[in-house]
Amino acid sequence: MRLSILRAAHVLAAAVLAAASLGAPAQAEKVVNAPAPKRIAKEGTGLKTAIFAGGCFWGVEGVFSHVKGVKSAVSGFHGGAAGTAQYRTIVTGITNHAEAVRITYDPYVVRYDELLRIFFSVVTDPTQLNRQGPDVGAHYRSALVPLSEEQRAVAQAYLEQLDGSGLWDKPVVTRIEKHRKFYPAEDYHQDYMVKNPYSGYIMRFDQPKVAALKTMFPRDYRDEFLRDGPKT
């Protein structure tokens, strides 16, 4: 029963978003060749964790799940209270949560600055305020949530670099947010792309992102989709 209710909430949210976008064709985020970061992350050894918000978490998780060195990619909610960390509440737009993905990675294989470059090249459009592609609302905002001072410094430097790059006609509005508790999303959201490859949404908006990752970052791309077990 609970799963049926959650699925119904998703269908309703999709219908609302579709109605909101009538008159303006929904488009995927623009793929760009973001510049190599000038500031290189110096994170030491051992696995590290960071949180990325860049629109619907299905695509964010899907892309990072194909990046070498990423050990875990969990879809969830960040920014709000525990009592509102459910999908059916998030989609109302009345919480402070963003759909986000918690990434655990090995910096020996892929550094934080390299993850940032991938994120802004093929995942999110940093000039879209409180929306991404067809999805509208503050819960679809583009945000970085560093979990260390080094990540914060690298993220700030890269946002400034992007803003002065001339890649976009509009200013970069992606913001850095203070780390709060991350809440994993419901099970049916996890590994959504691989579970639902023929979803119209996935085929139109998210599969092109993975294809762009493979083309633009062949050294970072792995063909096998990361399945990292229970999401906690």
Domain locations in the chain as residue ranges: 2-216
Q: Count of CB atoms within 10 A of residue 56's CB?
A: 23
Question: Which member of 6, 17, 56, 63 is catalytic?
Answer: 56
Find where tokens 């000039």 sit: 127
Structural element, H or E, at residue 159: helix 149-163
Domain at 2-216, CATH from 1.10.10.60, 1.10.3720.10, 3.30.1060.10, 1.10.620.20 = 3.30.1060.10
Structural element, H or E, at residue 143: strand 142-145
HSE of 191, CA atoms in CB hemisphere, 13 A = 12
Catalytic residue check, 24: no
From first to last of the 232 residues of the chain, give the pLDDT tens digit.
344 444 444 444 444 343 333 334 455 678 999 999 999 999 999 999 999 999 999 999 999 999 999 999 999 999 999 999 999 999 988 899 999 999 999 999 999 999 999 999 999 999 999 999 899 999 999 999 999 999 999 999 999 999 999 999 999 999 999 999 999 999 999 999 999 999 999 999 999 999 999 999 999 999 999 875 444 4
What are the Cα distances from residue 150, in Å, to 48, 49, 210, 212?
11, 12, 28, 28
